Amino acid sequence: MRLFSHVFVRINAGLGLFVVALLIVPLLDVFYLRGRVGLYDGFYVTVAATGLCGLADALVQGGVIGAAGEMPERYMQAVVAGTAASGVLVSLLRILTKAVYSQDEEGLRSSANLYFSVSIVVMAICIVFYNVAHKLPVMRYYTDLKVLAVNVEKEEKGPLTGPVWRATLWNIVGNVKWYGFGIVLIYIVTLSIFPGYITEDVHSELLKDWYSILLITGYNVFDLIGKCLTPVYFLKNAKVAIGGCVARLLFFPLFYGCLHGPAFFRTEIPVTILTCLLGLTNGYLTSVLLILAPKVVPLQHAETAGIVMVLFLVLGLAMGSIVSWFWVI
- DSSP letters spanning 147-210: HHHHHHHHHHH----THHHHHHHHHHHHHHHHHHHHHHHHHHHHHHHTTHHHHHT---TTTTTH
Tens of pLDDT along 165-213? Answer: 677 888 999 999 999 999 999 999 999 998 888 887 888 888 888 999 9
pLDDT at 2 over 50: no
pLDDT at residue 282 tops 80: yes
**What CATH number is given for 2-328 in this structure?**
1.20.1250
Q: How many CB atoms lie within 10 A of CB 204?
A: 16
- pLDDT, residue 26, reads 87
Q: What per-residue confidence (pLDDT) applies to 38? A: 66
Confidence of residue 1 (pLDDT cuts 50, 70, 90): very low
DSSP state of 31: I
End-to-end alpha-carbon separation of the chain, Å? 51
Please give the distance of CA 242 from its chain centroid, rounded to a whole number. Answer: 19
Q: What is the pLDDT of residue 276?
A: 96
Give the start-to-end residue ranges of the domains of the chain: 2-328
Q: 241-275 pLDDT, tens per residue?
A: 999 999 999 999 999 898 888 888 888 899 999 99
Exposure class string for 60-99: b at 16+ Cβ within 10 A, else e:
bbbbbbbbbbbbebebbbbbbbebbbebbebbeebeebee
pLDDT of res. 85: 93
**14-32 per-position pLDDT tens digit:** 999 999 999 998 888 888 7
Given pLDDT bands bounded at 50, 70 and 90, which one contains residue 3?
very low
